Structure 1
């Protein structure tokens, strides 16, 4: 793999393809001067969709440009970790071999373990969850065939929760194959559980995994169709259903923003707003973190996807992260990451640094493994006079941008 910053990687792969800067810039809808600045490290690639377009034109994986696993779901970030144990778990297929764990399964105990994993994930403690994932899934696997009637349906919902947890983490880590496999297992069990909430939860994770696998059209179709289906079942007295429908509209809005369809992105955000008003509070039903504040955060994120820093800053005025339920560190940090991006685009590096530092204070692992956060730091370093004692330099070291 080519070494260096994202800009240097783009330049190397461009030359390998025999393209001029003018030709490559034209193919992704940008100017030659913009691409020149990116390759020289003067500025970053300012939209996720443009990075994806560059990878397609250069005929490489996005990881070849970023140098790290890449994640397309909202609020997500890549993380480097050892997945060997997780891969071994998914390759075992004990059920096909008739291998039983020999341990008595207590669904309530499994449910508590799954809840703890979800909380750790939402607190951006990704490395901790990676370590626990094989044991967690091993304990949840027998739930697929546990009990009968209402007991079985409850066990299946717990199984869906476990594999949804796995899918979101694996998507975060950039393991598209395992994420799709985990999300598919959740989807199969959700159908058997006869639960609209479980079906919606599983669908959301399938959407995120499809995005990670660069299948945006399939992801968008599923997100919109499932959002419409779950919304038809939404009632004020069913807050979990309302929250799942809202989460699906939010991911659908991000996808529309990524393909620069401003009108459709805002329409989907308005659908989510309607559901947030029905919910009437900031909640965390089905681990969605859905509510008015999360909708407001997504308005900032969608503006960033659209490449509109002014709109992102305006939208952030309506966000009060303190209204979110306790423990949602990744959601709190996301708005600061988006605002850091917006200020960097306007060359307000001091403001951007403050937001990056606040994001790091809130969720250190989220900043440490976030590709775009690292590129923002690189861009600011290129504009700053060299100093090994500045706050920006220290952040760059902590983020792994500098040794």
Structure 2
């Protein structure tokens, strides 16, 4: 008998690969459309073959929201999304080394007191939220801060040790923020986990709440299931009292974390229910209240409503929020820059390139290193530099060059 051969596996089309990637990411068509600034009908057209394979900038945007490589969409193993979308800070190797260096010798010297460590952490937060190159500024502080908080939390005892652990948790928060949008996702998860461990070892509900807020960012960026993020936030919120301003601020922040998680997966009713809780907490804290490093307050709650409308594919409503937003009430240049980028995203969803580029230019002046490593900015600038009116193309091209974005 002739030798039998198994039939060769069918080669998937681009449309099939795009549909499978979205399914694996757990995103509906409307949510995916909102994240890339297109309509749900456009996503459907791509997945049915009615619309052909888009150009590279859009492929990168799709790969980013689906948490896959461009090669997974195109079938070409020579292309990887990370090489186009993520830029490495020059201090990234230093931070990597600091996270894997340990002081094991008893000759490490007298540990710093929890009071001194807390003061150093507060100064680092001021640098992070200030104008200018915030990543570069804290990169010079983080190696020693991580080493000293590790040493003190290992050597000190009792209440002093627990306070040192709280400082250590915040040092890891800052490191996690430095690592965000860097080509080192495993380190982002590592710092998030270490901050939560330090907070739990400190037996501090406040520290646990802070760690849960930052872990929620990790989970959202990794497209983890919304229910897992919600459970973490609600467990942490359940440890807090609402008759104390410090704890109420963190409780409100965790309600905001849940709202953002639900909005990202298109569950509008639940999203706005939790946003209302966050808004109520901000109102109870007072019109002028803003947490010194978590920055929770009226301004941040209102500004995140803009992001929620974007994620729910409601750019018109997002721009209504933006029109009424007073960013002066947000005491953080990095946050103000982020919300300007989100406003630009809303304009981009409505094909308003002139406004989008103008807002990205304004965001660059507010906080250069926030926009330089922002994934949305890096994905949309190449497209804006090649399409639309000449003025838009020229301004987008100039900004892309300043940010080091390939066009």
- TM interval, shorter chain, is 0.7 to 0.9
Q: What CA distance in whole angstroms lies between the structure 2 residues aligned with 1:37 and 1:266?
A: 36
Name the structure 2 match of 1:239.
245
Higher mean alpha-carbon deviation, 78-87 vs 367-376, is at 78-87
What pairs with 1:157-196 in structure 2 (closer than 5 Å)? Answer: 157-196=166-205
Q: 1:133 to 1:194 in 2, by over 3 A?
A: same
Name the structure 2 match of 1:11.
none
How far off is 1:132 after superposition? 2.7
Name the structure 2 match of 1:132.
141
298, 305, 314: which one pairs with 2:304?
Answer: 298
Higher mean alpha-carbon deviation, 33-42 vs 137-146, is at 33-42
25, 28, 31: which one pairs with 2:44?
Answer: 31
Residues matched between the structures, number? 372
Q: What CA distance in whole angstroms lies between the structure 1 residues aligned with 2:59 and 2:382?
A: 8
How far off is 1:197 after superposition? 0.7
Q: Write out per-residue CA displacement over residues 345-377 of structure 1, whole angstroms, 9 at most, x where no aligned residue.
A: 212111111111111111111111212112222
Name the structure 2 match of 1:110.
117
Name the structure 2 match of 1:73.
none
Q: What CA distance in whole angstroms lies between the structure 2 residues aligned with 1:151 and 1:227?
A: 23
Name the structure 2 match of 1:342.
346
Equivalent residues of 1:163, 1:186 under 8 A apart: yes
Q: What CA distance in whole angstroms lies between the structure 1 residues aligned with 2:70 and 2:274?
A: 28
Equivalent residues of 1:250, 1:272 under 8 A apart: yes
Q: Write out per-residue CA displacement over residues 12-54 of structure 1, whole angstroms, 9 at most, x where no aligned residue.
A: xxxxx94434434544332225984772369688789844488
Q: 1:222 to 1:117 in 2, by over 3 A?
A: farther
Equivalent residues of 2:149, 2:164 under 8 A apart: no
Q: What CA distance in whole angstroms lies between the structure 2 residues aligned with 1:366 and 1:337?
A: 10
Q: What CA distance in whole angstroms lies between the structure 2 residues aligned with 1:397 and 1:221?
A: 39
Name the structure 2 match of 1:331.
335
Equivalent residues of 2:111, 2:156 under 8 A apart: no
Q: 1:247 to 1:390 in 2, by over 3 A?
A: same
How far off is 1:82 after superposition? 4.2
129, 137, 152: which one pairs with 2:161?
Answer: 152
Equivalent residues of 2:165, 2:199 under 8 A apart: yes
What pairs with 1:2-401 in structure 2 (closer than 5 Å)? Answer: 18-27=11-20, 28=22, 29=29, 30-32=43-45, 36=51, 39-40=54-55, 50-52=65-67, 58=73, 64-67=80-83, 79-94=88-103, 97-123=104-130, 125-217=134-226, 219-230=228-239, 233-235=241-243, 238-285=244-291, 287-325=293-331, 328-384=332-388, 390-401=394-405
Q: Write out per-residue CA displacement over residues 72-110 of structure 1, whole angstroms, 9 at most, x where no aligned residue.
A: xxxxxx75344333333333343xx44442255243332
Which structure has the larger Rg? 2
How far off is 1:387 after superposition? 7.4
Q: 1:368 to 1:392 in 2, by over 3 A?
A: same
Q: What CA distance in whole angstroms lies between the structure 2 residues aligned with 1:48 and 1:250?
A: 27
Equivalent residues of 1:44, 1:376 under 8 A apart: no
Instruction: Look up the SS of the partner of 2:108 in the other structure.
Output: coil
Instruction: Look up the SS of the partner of 1:173 in the other structure.
Output: coil
Equivalent residues of 2:340, 2:359 under 8 A apart: yes
Instruction: Look up the SS of the partner of 1:401 in the other structure.
Output: coil
Equivalent residues of 1:146, 1:155 under 8 A apart: no
Q: 1:265 to 1:90 in 2, by over 3 A?
A: same
Equivalent residues of 1:68, 1:80 under 8 A apart: no
The runs of 5 or more residues in structure 1 that have no matched partner are: 1-16, 71-77
Q: 1:364 to 1:87 in 2, by over 3 A?
A: closer
Equivalent residues of 1:171, 1:208 under 8 A apart: no
Q: What CA distance in whole angstroms lies between the structure 2 residues aligned with 1:160 and 1:379?
A: 40
Q: What CA distance in whole angstroms lies between the structure 2 residues aligned with 1:314 and 1:45?
A: 29
Name the structure 2 match of 1:74.
none
Q: What CA distance in whole angstroms lies between the structure 2 residues aligned with 1:175 and 1:401?
A: 18
